[in-house]
Structure 1
Amino acid sequence: MSINQIVTPLDSAVLDSKEQYVFYHKMVDFVLKELIVKVQQQQLCNHQELTFFKQYCDLLLYSIEAMRIKYMYDEEDNMKVDLTDSGFPNYLEFRYLHNDLELRNEYIDRLQDTHSLKVEFLDTLLRKKEPVKKSRLFQASSVVYYSSVNQQYIFNRFVQGKIIEAPENSNANLMTSWSFYDVSNNRPYVCYMYFDYDGKRIEDQKEELYQVLKESADREMPLATMAYNIDRKLTKIFPKHIKRIDLGPLHNVFAKDENEITHAVLSGIGKKEIPLESYALSLKIDAIFSGDTFKEGGFFSKQTMQKWSDVIPQKYVFAPHRIIQLLHNKTPEVLNKLAKPPIQVADLKIDI
């Protein structure tokens, strides 16, 4: 598989062969699992944050595996990967999964049973000595897809985590997490909020909190704006610390943007200085803390609001050793702005 075999209309790369689906899935699966390990080793998240982070990554991986099964032998539709500052599937692919699985029972009733498919495939391969037709393979993959994929594990545009007690040494009593897939840049985000509650039972305001987060913190925006909106809409909840992790872009052969790291990786692949499966992953962690309070509103409706610190941005890059060398040579000024030197992850090896 060469770069020229990847179709790139507008801002999406269309995966249109079994080899490309396998290649892409192996890459994303490998990169996210490496990321989880390194985030823990580098202590970029505390233990509880890491647990939530892994859960959201698992949902993302589950969804991409479902896409692989869904599209592998489909001759009519192709999965699209966002090319611009992402490297992850286009958000619409997640919507398609949800829409498909809403009609799961209806589709299953129409599909051929697995036993008869196995008998047919064995007869074709062993007796007739012929390859199985792609249309029949699509039928088999559809059976696997609709019978095994669970809609509740698909990464949605907004995924809410539970409210729990904050870890020791936190500046608040409670914490919650959520994740969202931004529809404008097609990247996943993971957020954490540490807060105090001025009431007896947080369960009394749990649903309201969840609704506010879904309405006010479900897209990429200035973190100070997000913090203010949450604080203003929840009178008994006092946010103390909000942390947001931006996953991506994933710089790889499927990307095409003005990002200097992407350009360096693609240039290296094009000149055959590095293999086709080479990658780097950017990650950004923004944090904001509350300090003093102030009153806002009219005489009869004053509300205590938090004063927020400046946003503390921290940028990281994860890449194998050879790619780090390449970036030091081609983009040293970008690496100088990172919170830490590039964090080394393992090489990905795919037989092409």
Structure 2
Amino acid sequence: MIVTPLDSAILDSKDQYVFYHKMIDFSLKELIVAVQEKQILNQQELLLFKQYSDLLLYSIEAMRVKYMYDDEENMKVDLTDSSFPNYLEFRYLFNDLALREDYLEKLTGIETLKDEFLDTLMRKKEPIPKRKLFQAASIVYYSSAKKEYIFNRFVQGKIIPAPEGSVAEHLVSWSFYDVSHNRPFICYMYFNYDGKDVESYKDEIYETLKNIADREMALDTMAYGIDKRLPKVFPKLIKRVDLGPIHNVFAKDENKLTHAILQSIANKEIPLESYAISLKIDELKSSSEFKEGSFFSKQTFQRWDAMYRQRYIFAPHRIIQMLYNKTPEIMNKLAMSPVQVSSIQSSVVSNEK
């Protein structure tokens, strides 16, 4: 995928970094709380949702530290339908941390840097040069960030027992960062296993999910691919959560909700830090089974119902009112009334004045 100026924005000032990262961090945390309060996912799904979201938040925080004082490189944010960082930023994080020891050896020692800071502040009575601040941020970045906590392009969850009353015995989850949408997706599959110990078959399951279910596609296409590649697995329910876009000042105006927010910000009807979050959940259920193949090598397949989609909007009260006025055709078709979340305090807007 080629990143063009129309597809991504570069955060090229400290004020923009502070504003962007506080907005994304705040809105995602509000979303997690709201999903739990409204019981949009069951308890086990919610626990997994929070774990994947924590990886996402950790990665974005690592980006904040990495780029804060860097004069040469700037972080790219997707503008098309996301507001999340461009997927390449996650790859850069992963690659950086794979070579962390090499980088740390080249950086100025912590004690040396501390002495230089104290000398500059106490004796010279001067501000710390930006070059030195970048060195300090680099030390924090490479010494504290851990590769295993980075939201990679594909993140595999473990196979666990499905909650009581589920449509199948086992549950496996995974998440991926789709490179075409620059958004995270979280998936759940409830399935039965034709064997005694599902753990003995986990490598085949994980490999199949990584190869077949690592990008956004028609859900029935994904389901058929999994069903065909795993003859011992009988999927009964596949659920996919599309997290985003986050509609705010960092997004492009092609999306109707984003356009409404940007227009209202431009008209000074709502503050600069206004936001709304879209969340879509697609579900595909098996209605029955059928067999295909020769007499001696028949394989059981699922007969899938039509995909069922539910769409949710999370936004502060003032934004919900505005969206009802400007985009009623969208707001009236949601799975439930828009979920009210907190607005970002005006103090996080670092350069509005």
TM-score category, normalised to shorter length: over 0.9
Paired residue for 2:110, among 110, 114, 135? 114
Q: Which residue number in structure 2 is paired with residue 254 of structure 1? A: 250
The question of 1:223 aligning with 2:219 is answered: yes
The question of 1:58 aligning with 2:58 is answered: no
- AA matched with 2:125: K
Contact 2:32–2:50 (Cα < 8 Å) also in 1 = yes
Q: Which residue number in structure 2 is paired with residue 94 of structure 1? A: 90
Equivalenced residues, count:
345
The question of 1:180 aligning with 2:179 is answered: no
CA distance in 2, matches of 1:142, 1:313: 43
Q: Which residue number in structure 2 is paired with residue 164 of structure 1? A: 160
Q: Which residue number in structure 2 is paired with residue 334 of structure 1? A: 330
What SS does the corresponding residue of 1:86 show, helix, strand or coil?
coil
Contact 2:186–2:241 (Cα < 8 Å) also in 1 = yes
Contact 2:176–2:185 (Cα < 8 Å) also in 1 = yes
CA distance in 1, matches of 2:253, 2:211: 30
CA distance in 2, matches of 1:299, 1:77: 62
Residue-by-residue CA offset, 1:299-337 (whole Å, 9 max, x unaligned): 443211000011110001100001001101111111111
CA distance in 2, matches of 1:36, 1:297: 45
Q: Which residue number in structure 2 is paired with residue 33 of structure 1? A: 29
Give the superposition deviation at 1:294.
1.3
Give the superposition deviation at 1:267.
0.7
Residue-by-residue CA offset, 1:43-79 (whole Å, 9 max, x unaligned): 1101000000000000000000000000001111100
Give the superposition deviation at 1:209.
0.1
What SS does the corresponding residue of 1:240 show, helix, strand or coil?
strand
- AA matched with 1:258: E
What SS does the corresponding residue of 1:293 show, helix, strand or coil?
strand
Q: Which residue number in structure 1 is paired with residue 145 of structure 2? A: 149
Structure 1 unaligned blocks of 5 or more: 1-7
Residue-by-residue CA offset, 1:86-118 (whole Å, 9 max, x unaligned): 010000000000111111100100111111111
Residue-by-residue CA offset, 1:231-272 (whole Å, 9 max, x unaligned): 111011100101000001110110013111000111111111
- AA matched with 2:252: K
Residue-by-residue CA offset, 1:135-157 (whole Å, 9 max, x unaligned): 11111100100010000100000
What SS does the corresponding residue of 2:262 show, helix, strand or coil?
helix
Give the superposition deviation at 1:28.
1.0
The question of 1:131 aligning with 2:130 is answered: no
- AA matched with 1:193: M
* TM-score relative to the length of structure 1: 0.96
Paired residue for 2:307, among 308, 311, 317? 311
CA distance in 1, matches of 2:5, 2:229: 42
CA distance in 1, matches of 2:349, 2:228: 54
Q: Which residue number in structure 2 is paired with residue 140 of structure 1? A: 136
CA distance in 2, matches of 1:19, 1:133: 17
CA distance in 1, matches of 2:262, 2:19: 16
What SS does the corresponding residue of 2:225 show, helix, strand or coil?
helix
What SS does the corresponding residue of 2:280 show, helix, strand or coil?
strand
What SS does the corresponding residue of 1:155 show, helix, strand or coil?
coil
CA distance in 1, matches of 2:165, 2:113: 58
The alignment-based identity, stated in percent, is: 68
Contact 2:253–2:262 (Cα < 8 Å) also in 1 = no
CA distance in 2, matches of 1:124, 1:324: 50
Give the superposition deviation at 1:197.
0.5
- AA matched with 1:206: K
- AA matched with 2:147: Q
The question of 1:81 aligning with 2:84 is answered: no
CA distance in 1, matches of 2:103, 2:349: 35
The question of 1:324 aligning with 2:320 is answered: yes
What SS does the corresponding residue of 2:28 show, helix, strand or coil?
helix
The question of 1:203 aligning with 2:186 is answered: no
Q: Which residue number in structure 1 is paired with residue 280 of structure 2? A: 284
Contact 2:315–2:341 (Cα < 8 Å) also in 1 = yes
CA distance in 2, matches of 1:313, 1:165: 25
Residue-by-residue CA offset, 1:16-60 (whole Å, 9 max, x unaligned): 111111111111111111111111111110100000000000000
Paired residue for 1:16, among 12, 37, 61? 12
Q: Which residue number in structure 2 is paired with residue 3 of structure 1? A: none
The question of 1:240 aligning with 2:209 is answered: no
What SS does the corresponding residue of 1:131 show, helix, strand or coil?
coil
Q: Which residue number in structure 2 is paired with residue 4 of structure 1? A: none
Taking only aligned residues, the RMSD between alpha carbons, in angstroms, comes to: 1.0
CA distance in 1, matches of 2:99, 2:301: 46
What SS does the corresponding residue of 1:328 show, helix, strand or coil?
helix
- AA matched with 2:59: S
